[in-house]
Amino acid sequence: MTPPRICVVGASNIDLVSYVPRMPKIGETLHGTQFAIGYGGKGANQAVMAAKLGGEVAMVTKLGRDIFGEDTYKNYEAFGIDTTGVTFTDQAFSGVAPIAVNPEGDNSIIIVTGANDVLNQDDLEAVREIIAASQVLVCQLEISVETNLAALRLGKELGVQTIFNPAPARAELPEEIYGLCDIFCPNETETELLTGMPVTSMEEAEAAARVLMQRGCKMVILTLGERGSLLVSDDEVVHVAAEAVKPKDTTGAGDAFVGSLAYFLAAGKPLQDAMHRANKIAAISVQAPGTQTSFPDAKDLDPDLLA
């Protein structure tokens, strides 16, 4: 059987993770308890998650000609990800993301995008055939809006289902981008920033999603952390609850959800079923430290989850 095919256009970063007793105040020097280096970037994370589940994944990204870029490339190869669209530039260093994680598992992240900013439409055209052969195309906001628009336009032209994850959060997006994505998938913070509306209840979350749909979205899936996810479309509103777990590190949980969602949709699962399964994968990820290192491998999952 042919594996589900997913193409991810997005950022590659190196995560520099410090575990701290609490978040530092402005101007404060704080002793951490542990340090780790990991592979990250929202696009990279989502690609690795889909690959870990068994997807045939292609990554389109830009790396700097430095040790971080070289190691990131090797990491993609280690997961069996198609690196045809992974290219290098001399114009910038590879992207980095210093992360602070407190004992409750909450995190604070600074992103320096670097080489990711150089990814452009020419890079996308070079992998047109790879995108065309994919069942799902995934994009996020750690690369330029212009490159996202070009990728989503290409996906629409080629008839590929598109998921747009508007992360990291920003207050405004071009109107065109809403109409280009089949699934618009923000979290609570991103939804509040884009709409200026709270999402503290399911009713508020639905109202905010309706605002996004008025801008052109066909369908909105809000990720709500421990509350699971909410599907809002013209035809239905469905809350898919999450399993209650004790989080150790929530870094990358949203990427685990998006990467899993893309995998299950590419595998032909109905949308609500795909959301339910993606919720479970995300819940597993928050119970382990790190980002990609917290993502479960297919062999370690209940076979029913992947059936």
Q: What is the pLDDT of residues 217-257, one digit of tens each?
A: 999 999 998 899 999 999 999 999 988 888 888 878 999 99
User: 24 in a domain, yes or no?
Assistant: no
Q: Is residue 57 part of a domain?
A: yes
Query: The domain that contains 198 carries what CATH number?
Result: 3.40.1190.20
How does strand 5-9 pair with strand 13-19?
Answer: unpaired
Give the separation between CA 158 and CA 155, rounded to whole angstroms.
5
In a domain, 73, yes or no: yes
Q: Is residue 36 part of a domain?
A: no
Q: Please write the tens of the pLDDT for every residue from 126-145.
A: 999 999 999 999 999 999 99
**In this structure, is residue 269 part of a structural domain?**
yes
Q: For the chain, how many structural domains are there in total?
A: 1
The catalytic residues are 255
Structural domain boundaries, residue 292: 5-12+41-95+113-306
pLDDT of residue 251: 78
Cβ atoms within 10 Å, residue 46: 32
Whether the Cβ atoms of residue 238 and residue 230 lie closer than 8 Å to each other: yes
Residue 26 lies in a domain: no
Does some domain include residue 221? yes
* Count of other CB atoms within 10 angstroms of residue 22: 12
Quickly list H helices, the chain.
Answer: 42-52, 67-78, 121-125, 128-132, 145-158, 175-180, 188-195, 202-214, 253-266, 271-285, 303-306
Whole-angstrom distance, CA of residue 197 vs CA of residue 53: 35
| 257-278 mean pLDDT | 97
Q: Give this prediction's pTM.
A: 0.91
Identify whether 291 is part of a domain. Answer: yes
Q: pLDDT digit string (tens) for 145-169?
A: 999 999 999 999 999 999 999 998 8
Band of pLDDT at residue 274, cut at 50, 70 and 90: very high
pLDDT at 11: 96
Name the token pair of 264. Answer: 């299950």
Sheet with 183-184, strands from edge to edge, namely 82-89, 56-64, 5-9, 136-140, 161-165, 183-184, 219-223, 229-233, 237-240
